[in-house]
Amino acid sequence: MDRELVGLSRSLAELVDRAGHGLVRRRSLVELIVLATVAREHLLVIGPPGTAKSQAVRQVAATVGDRYFEYLLGRFTEPTELFGPIDLSELREGRVVVDTRAMLPEAEIAFLDEVFLGSSAILNTLLGILNERVFRRGHTVRACPLRICVGASNSLPTDPELDAFADRFLVRVFVDPMPDPHLDELLERGWEASGPPSPLGPDRSGQLFDDAAALVDRVDLTEVRAHIAQCIRLLRRHDITMSDRRAVRAQRLIAAAAVLDGRTTAVEADLWALVPAIPTAVDQARASEILGERIARTSNAVAVDAAEEISAGLSAIAARIARTHAEYDKLPPGEDRILRMEGLAREIDATFPRDSLPPELAQVRASLVDER
């Protein structure tokens, strides 16, 4: 394995560790942000407010020292609030020139909350930035140093007119509020980690992303391309639609997964990276089950949690519930223990059909019934 590539992989792993500082159960979000950035694709995170969506992006930017821009869009947000004011002195000369200093067109990492609420003027300008990394407005045309734009929303848009814009975000991540079993850890980590993550240092900046992205272009997909096609055909047979454009671009995610793992040859162990390109949460979960052995338990040197969660599907959930039960079993008898155990029982019955309960969970469930 190329030593420079291994060094790059280790630096990216360190980036994920530092950027994940203080975040609970959001490491996979940080990993997928890094994956998308290396693939030079954008990411859409769907989830309710207060689920650390912007914090994860902010911490990635702080760790590499990239110029960061964040904004909460609303229906009445003006283009100048994102792209910069019109230069009045130029306007007097009859030229519409935008002063983009410290605004989105000069950002390397951007986070746009409630991204689908933007006006058509905003979304049309954003399309150019997302597609071509070029900002166009009036007489201003400039290249943008944007590495990744992370859009956020409470839910996927239902207006078909937003489909084309939404499709620019290849990677989709769906986050839920912290499950009850992890609330204590959230409160503890949130209290302890009140400062920003420690940066990588000036010699390992956002250039790290550019070096990795350049390698993605050189990844050899020959060995794995037939498997990718088989996976897509299998998903389509199960009514999981992936457009031709999305399927072609998803190859960059697989190539990026290889680079993150320190390789320039993609192998079957990288196929898990196909799943985040599937547009909906339900279909992503179904895809993990349907692809099953094809994306069987894999590991990735940087995207540790994301690869494990995606490839293991229900198995990962079963393992987590069993671990949590073992922790709760140490609690003394009382209302707190009963409520926590009932929460686990609810999750088991709501997630697994009784006739296909994994053996380890069947034992857990039996003990929960006896717990009453």
Which amino acid type is present at position 218? R
Helix (H, G, I), strand (E, B) or coil at 21: coil
* H-run or E-run covering 44: strand 43-46
Task: Indicate which single residue of 184, 185, 289, 329 sits in contact with another protein (rule: CB under 8 A).
Answer: 289
Name which of 28 and 125 has its Cβ closer to another protein. 28
Whether residue 62 contacts residue 196, with contact meaning beta carbons closer than 8 Å, is answered with yes
Stretch that binds another protein, among 17-25, 243-251, 284-292, 303-311 (CB under 8 A): 284-292
Name which of 109 and 357 has its Cβ closer to another protein. 357
CB of residue 7 vs another protein: minimum separation in angstroms? 39
DSSP string, 147-177: -EEEEEESS----GGGHHHHTT--EEEE--P
CB of residue 313 vs another protein: minimum separation in angstroms? 8
CA atoms within 13 A of residue 303's CA, in its CB half-sphere: 31
Whether residue 97 contacts residue 138, with contact meaning beta carbons closer than 8 Å, is answered with yes
Stretch that binds another protein, among 130-138, 167-175, 214-222, 340-348 (CB under 8 A): 340-348
- Asked whether position 362 contacts another protein by CB under 8 A, the answer is no
DSSP string, 126-149: HHHHHHHSEEEETTEEEE----EE
Q: Residue 315 has which token pair?
A: 């198995």
DSSP string, 320-341: HHHHHHHHHTTSPSSHHHHHHH
Q: What string marks each residue from 293 to 332 as x (binds another protein by CB under 8 A) or -? A: ---------------------x------------------
Name which of 204 and 286 has its Cβ closer to another protein. 286
Task: Indicate which single residue of 351, 362, 363, 367 sits in contact with another protein (rule: CB under 8 A).
Answer: 351
CB of residue 157 vs another protein: minimum separation in angstroms? 15
- Asked whether position 355 contacts another protein by CB under 8 A, the answer is yes
Q: What string marks each residue from 236 to 275 as x (binds another protein by CB under 8 A) or -? A: ----------------------------------------
Name which of 219 and 278 has its Cβ closer to another protein. 278
Q: Residue 214 has which token pair?
A: 């350049």
CB of residue 372 vs another protein: minimum separation in angstroms? 8
Helix (H, G, I), strand (E, B) or coil at 207: helix
- Asked whether position 342 contacts another protein by CB under 8 A, the answer is yes
Whether residue 274 contacts residue 311, with contact meaning beta carbons closer than 8 Å, is answered with no
Stretch that binds another protein, among 28-36, 204-212, 214-222, 347-355 (CB under 8 A): 347-355
Name which of 71 and 174 has its Cβ closer to another protein. 174
Q: Where are the alpha helices (DSSP H) in the chain?
A: 3-19, 27-38, 53-64, 79-83, 88-92, 120-132, 163-166, 183-192, 207-216, 222-237, 244-260, 281-291, 304-312, 314-328, 335-351, 359-371
- Asked whether position 286 contacts another protein by CB under 8 A, the answer is yes
| Residues contacting another protein: total by CB under 8 A | 18
Which residues sit at the interface with another protein, rule CB under 8 A?
282, 285-286, 289, 314, 342-343, 345-346, 349-355, 369, 372
